[in-house]
Structure 1
Amino acid sequence: MTTMIQMHNVSWVRGARAILHDITWEVNEGEHWAILGLNGSGKTSLLNIITGYQYPTRGEVEVLGYRFGRASLPEMRRHIGFVSSALDQFHDTLQTETVEDVVVSGKFATIGLYDAITGEDRDKAEALMESFRLQAVKGKRYATLSQGEKRKTLIARALMADPALLILDEPTVGLDLWAREQMLSLIAPIAARPCHVLYVTHYIEEIVEPITHVLLLRDGRVAAAGRKEDVLTDERLSEAFQLNIRVHWEDGRPWVSVRR
């Protein structure tokens, strides 16, 4: 079995403060993971390490066969798709682009188009737009889209380069209930590709059926990691979220209530 992500005793220290403590975690081929935890639990720092933008203070990391300290991290990043609110920093450039140009730019991992585009590139972007139900906004400026349409456009953009790993960092933030469910319905076709999903969220009910495993963080440590049915228990979630939580399952999807 191919290992997609492997971390062994990974810690990260910022100044005098330890943010991550002895993280040992493995993602194998065919697995799709959700990453859960309270604010400050270490989710963002973990993503920064996975994408090679932050180097661990201690420990060993290998992502997609690239071992940190021995391999080219910029080369590794070419195989990772990333959708996050961090892309908002490119807001001014994105606003002026058409939807299809935003999608095509994913081939080059750029915001804006600066390279020659082939007919094959356009055809691939069209197919992705169709897959993500974006045909109705073809030719429109990104600035005119709804929040849900913008999020789908960015996911299509991330898939343009056929990444082996797709990181969705809280992709439903700011969406209403209908748009959220539309977004979550896209995870199944993404998971059906030769692409492994890391889905970062605060909301347990967003762990839809195609997501197979959960990494639960608390205070920069692994509270639990494994198949979602084993991790998403009343006891483990209550401890991690410091609330009296009860979990029930419907159609392979967990829902929680808080007991007073």
Structure 2
Amino acid sequence: MTDDVLRLDAVTFRRNGREILHGIDLTVRAGEHWALLGPNGAGKTTIVGFCAAQTHPTTGTVDVLGRRLGRVDMQELRRHIGHVNPRHPLRSPLSVLEVVLTGFTGTIDMAMRWEPSVGQIARARRVIAEVGLADRAEYVWPDMSQGERGRALVARALAPEPDLLLLDEPTTGLDVAAREQLLETIDSLARTSPEVASILVTHHLEELPETTSHAMVIAHGDVVASGRVHDVVTTDVITEAFEHPISVGHDGGRWSARAIRTEFRHDFGTLDRR
């Protein structure tokens, strides 16, 4: 019996006659925590669309939770996938508890003619506490900070106990304190939900949680490197993907990146990298 949660084999994707992805291979297993890295326009969002069972590849195969896209009810499959999108288009004054409960129905607002069970309410309150919002369960969406919204969306994604968690640039719009709080919440999932596989999409290395175990770096629709995070997130790989000399650092479990300064030495007529 396989423990593969997600598998992409030789996946390509074309839009308006242009090929955006060129033969992507990716296998994510239960309990692994992947980062999907690359510059803007690299194809990260397209790959997430496959992982979220929202789009089909042009060629190649995508298996999500043991079911192949094109042969499965996509809506039913999405109920088993937790998706954290910081651009969640909610406008209604739902409370934190109500936002989390929408994770059971996969809707933006509370579903009409649907009442949560006692067990679902208990589960929602449990994950709200796990993300540090127990004392704010009655806060309403329009009055919440971006950091509180981010943690509420993580709880919403976790409420139905998914097998796969997708975090699509989850720290977008957060200040430093809110970002760090959200990353602490994501790191805690390795303890509270150890069997759940996750994929976090970003182009900022400082936004990688400490629990990141694997990474794929893509550029121009091609895989630059994929595998164990310490083998992939390196100065050479990141420099190649972002097409700029970038020095990658790792300290205390967290990653950093800074440009390698290149100056022209007039006296020697050579490049001096500092």
TM range (shorter): over 0.9
Alignment of 1:5-154 (within 5 A): 5-88=6-89, 91-93=90-92, 96-114=93-111, 115-154=114-153
Structure 1 distance, partners of 2:186, 2:145, is: 19
Alpha-carbon deviation of 1:35?
0.4
Q: Secondary structure at the match of 1:107?
A: helix
CA contact (8 A) 1:10 1:61 kept: yes
Residue range with higher mean Cα deviation, 214-223 or 125-134: 125-134
Q: Distance in 1 between matches of 2:138 and 2:237?
A: 48
| Structure 1 vs Structure 2 CA RMSD | 1.3
Report the counterpart of residue 185 of structure 2 in structure 1: 186
Give 1:256 shift.
1.5
Where does residue 209 of structure 1 map in the other structure? 210
Query: Cα 1:138–1:51, aligned 2, differ >3 Å: closer, same or farther?
Result: closer
Distance 1:86 1:179, change over 3 A: closer
Paired residue secondary structure (1:249) = strand
Counterpart check, 1:171 vs 2:165: no
Partner of 1:246: 247
Structure 1 window deviating more from structure 2 (217-226 vs 102-111): it is 102-111
Whole-Å separation in 2 of the counterparts to 1:81 and 1:209: 20
Pick which of 232-241 and 130-139 moved more.
Answer: 130-139
| Alignment match, 2:201 | 200
Measure how far apart 1:211 and its partner are: 0.8
Mapped to 2, the partners of 1:221 and 1:103 lie a distance apart of: 36
Contact in 2 for aligned 1:247/1:254 (Cα 8 Å): yes
Paired residue total: 256
CA distance in 1 between counterparts of 2:16 and 2:109 reads 36
Corresponding residue number in structure 2 for 1:159: 158
* Aligned mates of 2:87, 2:57 — CA distance in 1: 21
SS in 1 for 2:231: helix
Q: Note if contact 1:66-1:72 (Cα within 8 Å) is conserved in structure 2.
A: no
- Relative distance call for 1:120 and 1:29 in structure 2 (3 A) is closer
> How many angstroms does 1:195 deviate by?
1.2
- SS across alignment from 1:92: coil
TM-score by length of 1: 0.94
Q: Which segment drifts farther, 135-144 or 223-232? A: 135-144
SS in 1 for 2:70: coil
Task: Report the alpha carbon displacement of residue 86 of structure 1 after superposing the two structures with TM.
Answer: 4.2
| Distance in 1 of aligned mates of 2:185 and 2:71 | 35
Length-normalised TM-score, structure 2: 0.90
User: What is the DSSP-based 3-state SS (H/G/I as helix, E as strand, rest coil) of the residue aligned with 2:138?
Assistant: coil
2:270 matched residue in structure 1: none
- Bigger drift between 183-192 and 163-172 goes to 183-192
Alpha carbons 2:171, 2:179 under 8 Å: kept:
yes
Unaligned runs of 5+ in 1: none
- Residue 227 of structure 1: aligned partner: 228
Q: Is the 8 A contact 1:7 1:26 kept in 2?
A: yes
Runs of 4+ in 1 over 6 A off after TM superposition: none
Q: Distance in 1 between matches of 2:36 and 2:104?
A: 27
Bigger shift: residues 187-196 or 125-134:
187-196
Look up the equivalent residue of 2:196 and give its one-letter code.
Answer: C
* Pair member with larger Rg: 2
Offset, 1:120 = 2.0
2: distance between equivalents of 1:107 and 1:53? 18
**Alpha carbons of 1:249 and 1:31: their partners in 2 closer, same or farther (altered >3 Å)?**
same
Question: How far off is 1:189 after superposition?
Answer: 2.0
